[in-house]
Amino acid sequence: MLQIIIQGLLLSGLYALIAVGFTLIFSVGRVLNLAYGAYLMIGGYAFFFFSQQLGLPILLGVILAGVLGCLAGLLKYRLLVIPLKGDHVAIEISTLILAVVIQAGIVLLFGDSPKVLLPIVPGVTQIAGASVTFNILTATLVSWAILISLYLFIKKTHLGRAMQAVSMDKKGAAISGVNPDHINMLTWGISGTLGAVAGVFFASYTQLSPSMWVAPLIIAVAVVIVGGIGSIIGTLIVAHIIGFMEVIAVAEIAPELRGVFTMLLIIAVLIIRPQGLFGREEIQ
C-alpha cells in the first residue's frame, strides 16, 4: 500500500505538469489544442537528439527541448489559430491533423521503432521503505517547481493577471487595455514550453515512440473534462485522482488497463456533471 501511495504521488506530479499547459490554452483561448501531445513528443525527441546523439549536457538538452516546444506553440498560433480565428471546431480539427503530420515527420527523422531515453538522473533510492527511481523523483520535483512558479507568475505578475483577465472576459480585458491576441500568443508559447519539458520527463519514464503523443493528450483532456476548470490547484487535484487511479490499476489489477479507468472517468463525468467537478473555466 505504501508503495502505491508513493508511486501515485510521484506520477501525479508528472501528470499535473503534462496537463497544465493544455489547461491554460483551454482557459484563455477556449479551444482544445488536440496537437498538445505533439509538444511532448517534440520535447522528448529533441532531448534525445541533443543529449544522447549530440552529447550535450542534460540541462542544456532540457532547455533546448523547451525552446523548440515554445516555437512550436507560437508557430501553431500564428499559422493555424489566427487564420481560423473564431472557428473553434476548425481549430481543433486542424490541430489534430497537425499532430498526425508531426508524427509522420518524427518517423522520417528518427524511424518508427521505439527508443529508450536514458534516465535523466540514474539510480534508485528508498522512501519509507518503498523503492523509487531518482528519475521519477526528479521529474516530480521539477514538475512541482514549475507548477509553483507558474502559479506565482499568474497571481503576481502583470502578464499573469492579464491572462486571468482574458480567461474571464475577453472583451472586458480588451476594454481595460489588454491585447487578447498578445496574451493568447503568450499562452500558446508557455503551453508549448511546458508540454515539451513534460515530454522529456514523460519519455524518460516510459519510452520514445512516434505515437507517444496520444497517451499524454488523453491525460490532459481528462483533466480538463473532469475538472472543468482553469485552476492550477484544480489541475493538481484532478491529476492526482487520475495518477492514483492508474497506479492502482497497474499494480492491483492489470498493466493492460492503464488508461482504461481514465477513459471511464471521462465518460462518467460527461454523463453526470458535464461542466466538470469544479465548473470554472477561468484561470485561478
Whether the pLDDT of residue 104 is over 80: the answer is yes
- 205 pLDDT higher than 90: no
Task: Copy the grid coordinates of residue 74.
Answer: 507560437
Sign for the CA dihedral angle at 86, 87, 88, 94 comes to negative
Q: What is the spatial distance between Cα 99 and Cα 102, in angstroms, rounded to a whole number? A: 5
Cα 129–135–136 angle (5° rounding)? 65
Report pLDDT digits (tens) over 18-57. 888 898 888 887 888 889 999 999 999 999 999 999 999 9
Domain boundaries, the chain: 2-272
Closest listed residue to residue 230, CA positions, set 26, 19, 18, 33: 26
- At 40 the pLDDT is 95
pLDDT number for residue 256? 66
Q: CA of 128: how far to CAs of 89, 125, 222, 240, 280, in Å? A: 49, 10, 31, 20, 37
pLDDT at 230: 63
pLDDT, residue 247, reads 81
Which residues, 6+ apart, have CB-to-CB distance to 177 below 8 Å?
A: none
- Which residues does 256 contact at the CB level (< 8 Å), separation at least 6? none
pLDDT digits (tens, 9 = 90+) for 237-266: 888 888 888 888 776 676 666 777 788 888
Which residues fall within 8 angstroms of residue 258, CB to CB, at 6 or more apart?
246, 249, 250
Distance CA 146, CA 152 (A): 10
Q: Write the Ramachandran bin of 129: left for phi over 0, alpha for psi from -120 to 50, otherwise beta.
A: left
Q: Which residues contact 267 (CB under 8 A, 6 or more apart)?
A: none
Mark out the alpha helices in the chain (DSSP H runs): 2-29, 36-47, 58-76, 88-110, 134-156, 158-168, 170-175, 180-205, 214-227, 232-248, 260-272
CA angle 72, 192, 159 (to 5 degrees): 115
pLDDT at 170 over 60: yes
Q: Which CATH architecture has domain 2-272?
A: Orthogonal Bundle (1.10)
